[in-house]
Amino acid sequence: MFKRICFTITGGLALLVTMTQPVLAEEIPEFSMEQIVVESSIASPDNLLNVSDINTKVVKPGKATNVADLLKDVAGIDVSQRTTAGDTQDTVRLRGFESQRFTVLLNGRPINSTGILGGSYMDWGTIPLENVEKIQITKGAKSARYGNTIGGVINIITRKGGGKESTTLQTNFGSYGFRSNRLDHSGGDDNFNYMLSAGTKKSDGYLRNNYLDSKDYSLRLGHTFENKGQLVVGASRVETERGFIVKNDGEIVGMGQKIPIDPNYPISDGDIMMPGPGGSSAKAWSDGAYWKKTNTYYDIAYTQPFKDGNWKISYYKNDEKREEWEPNGTEKFHRLLRPDQSYSWAGEVEKKLNEQHKITYGYQEKTLQYGWQEYYFGTPDKNPAPSQKLKTTGAYIEDNWSVNPTLSLNIGLRYDKYELTRDIDTGGVFAKKPKLDGDKISPKFNLSYKVNDNTSTYLSVNKFYRVPTSREFWWNYYNTGTVVGGIAQGEPNKVLKPEDGYSYELGIKVKNGDKANYKASVFYNDINNYIIYDNSAIAKSMMNPPYNLDKAEIWGIELETEQKLKRNLVLFANYTYQKGKKSGTYSPASPWESQTDRIYYMPEQKANIGLRYKMDKGTEVALSGRYVGSQEVLDGNFVGPVSLNKANLKGYFVTNLSVTHPISKNEEVSFFVDNLFGKKYEEVKDYSMPGTTYGMGYKVQF
């Protein structure tokens, strides 16, 4: 299969992603990784329209409301959203892999969550977009530094203080009552720097009951000691309240529930309470139902340089609390949760053997842990659920060697080990549990060859290893396929095995002076013990446990170009083709998986095209179009017996426009129109996206 794909690449196109080298979080790697530079300051960089390096994309936040919005235009990344202001169910897929199969970092520290008890693997809304300085993307399991990943790594780097004191005020408003306000202040000197920020964000929402009200605060401090050691301490907190989307199609939900249609909102599916009161079948939330949560992140890191390198030690902790209310339902519902109490520490040494040769090695321990939950139905009824810890340990070594001016090697070896333990044993289905642990060694090999000054090629062959998530372990224990009185019975299913396999990537990059760049890459992932698990409430209501399928394959092609048409006008375009296939023995509890050998929620084709124009006085105009092809998805309903069936989500093309205009040296205004021609489309089945939306913003810096 891999050979067939390679032959489909046409000459003259180039690879964007070259090898990734382990580095400190704030540094740019020597081996280029794809970067999105988020220009959030008043003064735009002089090279805004420079296409000398296609690995870097400079963008304005514009219409974007969270980081997921910025990733929509990147080749190889698919984003599915239910609402314009984003919510915890925004799904980002990197080369067809969901967030449990790739790693998300914030300033170099992992922020993937447990994904259980109402939480999500990755809530993109917990990262204020205005704080982001750049986003680094590594596609594939290339680096030994990052374990437990197949799809790759997305590293989000926030702005840090230093230099002259600066304060920025920003306000934005737009369709469906969207408004946001922000204050950022930074400063420092040669030895000390700081960055603090605070913001609010609100939206009425265009789906029924789906309002948003959030606040965020962050503080980042840095100090350089006399011995050149650097200490960085950070803390951030996001407080979010959001209305559950109320099902607005008039169809019957579990328990015979039927909610009348509200004509003020579009027809759509909605959030489902799982499980229903008293362990009954799933039910839809009613008007007035909402959830509120706080996400607090703490991190500290110390870096000490020495003669030929440096060493670094870091620690982080997550603290997520969530509450859910349904004050107007037939049975009042209140649930308190601690979905994420994870923590981790890591140590790393980077040593230069000479100017062309560097060794990096390190050790990591990460514990994904969720806490307790309490249910209240009418009168308080405490029912604490058992919590569990998933501990992953990793050790790695990487050798980065520029053999000569044309040949560079990146060779690595990683060891991963995992262990699952339970803090509380409540008996019942959890009383007997098998031992859950395992380990694996994964070699990495990356080669880059410079054909000439304008052309370079790249080859990557890497073994990967992914441990099941806390959510997958949980439902594997809880769901046994046998239900009595709404409660799962019997012995736990067969123990989940970790996914492992090999990924391959081949590419070429061609440069035409400072006028144009072209790139092409082809990738193939061969996955053993592929875990089948549908996160939807419908699947859970059917007591469907996660299980291993023998094999899955995901392959594709990415083509990209940027061309300077005139001094101040740039054309950019990219195209992604991807396809997935799964095979093996399907579980009787998930008959929908056997309806196709394709992998659900993976559009075969995606393309982006646009123009960036910068006027002499600094005004910037961007016009872009995004095409997402059709894809197979699961379509569920609660009419009669609960069922899930294969469905087709139609392809769509939307056009967006944004303008940024500097009023003065310290002030600017911005304007955007999203879905310029009012295209009707869905990114998630049965959740229609809005028509034309708009927004305006004002920013001042002093």
pLDDT at 476 exceeding the cut of 80: no
Q: Which residues of 670-702 are buried (b: 16+ CB within 10 A; e: fewer)?
A: bbbbbbbeeeeebbbbbbbbbeebbbebebebe
Q: Which residue has the higher pLDDT, 639 or 314?
A: 314
pLDDT band with cut points at 50, 70 and 90 for residue 350:
very high
End-to-end Cα, the chain, rounded Å: 57
pLDDT band with cut points at 50, 70 and 90 for residue 7:
very low
Comparing 305-319, 423-437, 611-625, the range with the smallest average pLDDT is 423-437
Strands (DSSP E) along 225-342, which ranges? Answer: 230-243, 252-253, 257-258, 272-273, 283-284, 290-306, 309-326, 333-340
pLDDT band with cut points at 50, 70 and 90 for residue 282:
low
Name the burial class of residue 480, with classes exposed (0-12), middle (13-18) and buried (19+) by CB atoms within 10 angstroms of its CB.
middle
591: three-class secondary structure by DSSP: helix
**pLDDT for position 196:** 94
Angstrom CA distances, 131 to 27, 38, 95, 184, 219, stand at 17, 9, 26, 8, 11
Report the 10 Å Cβ neighbour count for 634.
18
pLDDT band with cut points at 50, 70 and 90 for residue 482:
very low
pLDDT at 191 exceeding the cut of 80: yes
Residue that is written with structure tokens 């955007």 in the block:
672
How far is it, in rounded angstroms, from Cα 602 to Cα 556?
A: 11
**pLDDT for position 43:** 38
92-147 pLDDT tens trace = 999 999 888 999 988 888 888 888 777 778 888 888 887 888 888 889 999 899 98
How far is it, in rounded angstroms, from Cα 458 to Cα 503?
A: 14
Q: Which residue has the higher pLDDT, 19 or 611?
A: 611
How far is it, in rounded angstroms, from Cα 308 to Cα 154?
A: 28
pLDDT band with cut points at 50, 70 and 90 for residue 591:
confident
pLDDT band with cut points at 50, 70 and 90 for residue 259:
confident
**pLDDT for position 136:** 86
**pLDDT for position 332:** 72
pLDDT at 650 exceeding the cut of 60: yes
Question: How high is the mean pLDDT of the chain?
Answer: 81
pLDDT at 682 exceeding the cut of 70: yes
Residue that is written with structure tokens 């310290």 in the block:
666
CA atoms in the 13 A half-sphere facing the CB of 427: 1
The DSSP code for 90 is -
Domains and CATH numbers, the chain: 2-164+174-590 (2.40.170.20)
Backbone angles phi, psi at 6, to 5 degrees: -55, -40
- For the residues 612-629, what does the mean pLDDT come to? 90
**pLDDT for position 53:** 46
441-454 pLDDT tens trace = 999 999 999 999 88
How far is it, in rounded angstroms, from Cα 470 to Cα 174?
A: 38
The DSSP code for 158 is E
- Listed in sequence order, the residues at least 6 apart from 289 whose beta carbon sits closer than 8 Å to its beta carbon are 209, 243, 244, 246, 324, 325, 326, 327, 328, 329, 333
**pLDDT for position 533:** 78
Residue 441, H or E segment: strand 437-452
Comparing 72-81, 380-389, 525-534, 563-572, the range with the smallest average pLDDT is 380-389
Q: What is the DSSP string of 597-631?
A: SSPSS--SEEEEEEEEEE-TTS-EEEEEEEEE--E
Contact 365, 325 (CB under 8 A): no
Q: Which residues of 124-140 are buried (b: 16+ CB within 10 A; e: fewer)?
A: bbbbbbbbbbbbbbbbb
- For the residues 293-299, what does the mean pLDDT come to? 93
Strand 643-649 relative to strand 682-684, pairing? unpaired
542-575 pLDDT tens trace = 556 788 999 999 999 999 998 889 888 989 999 9
pLDDT at 375 exceeding the cut of 80: no
How far is it, in rounded angstroms, from Cα 199 to Cα 97?
A: 32
pLDDT band with cut points at 50, 70 and 90 for residue 283:
confident
Give the chain's radius of gyration (CA, Å).
25
- For the residues 226-237, what does the mean pLDDT come to? 95
**pLDDT for position 81:** 86
**pLDDT for position 13:** 30
pLDDT at 372 exceeding the cut of 80: no
Backbone angles phi, psi at 282, to 5 degrees: -60, 150
Contact 623, 672 (CB under 8 A): no
127: three-class secondary structure by DSSP: coil
Strand 152-158 relative to strand 693-701, pairing? unpaired
- For the residues 240-268, what does the mean pLDDT come to? 86
